[in-house]
Chains A and B, each alone.
Chain A
Amino acid sequence: MSFTTVVFYILSAILLLAAFRVITAKNPVHAALFLVLSFFTASGLWMLLESEFLAISLVLVYVGAVMVLFLFVVMMLDIDIEKLREGFWKNFPLAGTIAIIMAGEMALILGSPEAGLHTYPARAPLSADFSNVRELGVLMYTRYMYATELASVVLLLAIVAAIALTQRQRKDSKAMNVSEQVAVRAVDRVRIVKMAAAPVDTAATDEDQPQA
């Protein structure tokens, strides 16, 4: 077994373990950190395939940006995660059994000699001056231009959907509208009533009474 194969199995084992802990960890912050670990090991797998650009962008985008934001949200919100997952451990034995059976079946099929995985030749190593970024860029903007444009439409849709779902006036919000406050004029707030300094006579008070 070559060195890269050993590294591959170690990274895969860590990846699976981390992914499993993401769904079983009791503390949401721990779950998020395990997700970071699984992204990190996945980028290690890409590195083994000599796809450095994808590996680095996975770390930069997912670990650096998405997960930090996610951790931030998890820490800000006061969610009782145990209450949310009351049914989790009840259903776990059945779901776990099914998952193990499925994984076993898949392993039997793919591991059998008939699957012919051994007939696939090993990947030839890339030359030293091979640029991942250039190859990806060329493919994305020529051959896969249509798919790239569509992916940008998906991103636009995500923006529209996120704004539609989150932007609304909350009834219980006590936030103040700063621009309204700045633009306020004295006449909107204070009503100045001119009245005589002399003691009020009885006829005037009668007039102020609501009419029956």
Chain B
Amino acid sequence: MSLPFGLYIHIPFCVSKCRYCDFLSFPADRAARKAYLSRLIREMRVRSSGLGSRKVRTVFIGGGTPSILGDEQISRLMEAVFSCFDVEEGAEISMECNPGTGEALSFRNLRSAGINRLSLGLQSMDDEQLRLLGRIHTKRQFLESYEKAREGGFDNINIDIMSGLPGQSLASWMRTLDEVCALKPEHISAYSLIVEEGTPFYSIYGEGAGRPSWPPLPDEDTERDMYHEAEDFLKGQGYTHYEISNFARSGYECRHNLAYWLRGDYLGLGLGAASLIDHVRSANTRDLDIYMKHSFEADAFLRSPLCAEYTKLSEKDRMEETMFLGLRCSLGVGCGQFEETFGKDIYSVYGPVIDRYEKLGLLEEKGGRIRLTRAGIDVSNVVMADFLLD
């Protein structure tokens, strides 16, 4: 295959771990970060050689907090990207940045290094909520970073916000939305808090925990109201709701993330990073020791301890993924495209499930595309689970 692919680069470092976070990230000193970067570039050299002449369409530097590296290191990383890969003209090149690490950054240098899209982690415009989450920044620090990013030449910025936070009311959530929209970002990711096992929040809000001294989480109904109100409000502000948690001004949808839902190929570099290349899903080791010490060999990478997961997708796997990933997008799954890909009518595979959920008003078919209704999104896990085949 010679299709272009996405490139994901994982930076597993942060200043300090937020209480809700279950991503692969941890604090580390400057030397450790530098050593990691060298390893990362080594991996890039080795793995890029296996992809022949395929072009890179999008790049996403995520974490963790990639901005913790500073603009010099990021320039070094980007130079390596450009030297290892054939990056398409006009490629979307995103980087995550957390306020509180952004002050020392030169956004102008990031721009010159090639980064053209910035994703800022705000979460909330309420300082008390930020404190409870364990964020290292205030609303003011965020606003400063945002302004500096604009001044530095970023004309494509995403802001991450979260609903369902401790002590958050519908009104306070709407204030956050209002204030975010006033900044006119090109893209808004509105997530809801998920209390994951193994996080400090789990011992506060998890099953059977119950710490009465902490402000309660909004109940299910309020949380859903937050979601629906947000959708209405953002649509009114000119944003398109293009994926369950993502909103964008027309033309500013995140192409890198869309490719995940539409099952485009992507190569993940760095600790724990996941890849999909030629129908193989793989994931790098999550063990920093192994990652730092084991030698990279181009042809043996997927068979070495550096690769922690390796699944060759069957046709069944691919059909399932097409459904449960595609349904996340507002566009839904195209029936024609399904048939083109698999040589099977979508109804011959999923007819009864589609029928059942259409009757319950959770799925709809419009213009040859199947998608979740608004009510369907609320309970999408239940619907998607039924698209797994026996």
Are A and B physically bound partners?
Answer: no
- B contact set with A: CB distance below 8 Å: none
- A contact set with B: CB distance below 8 Å: none
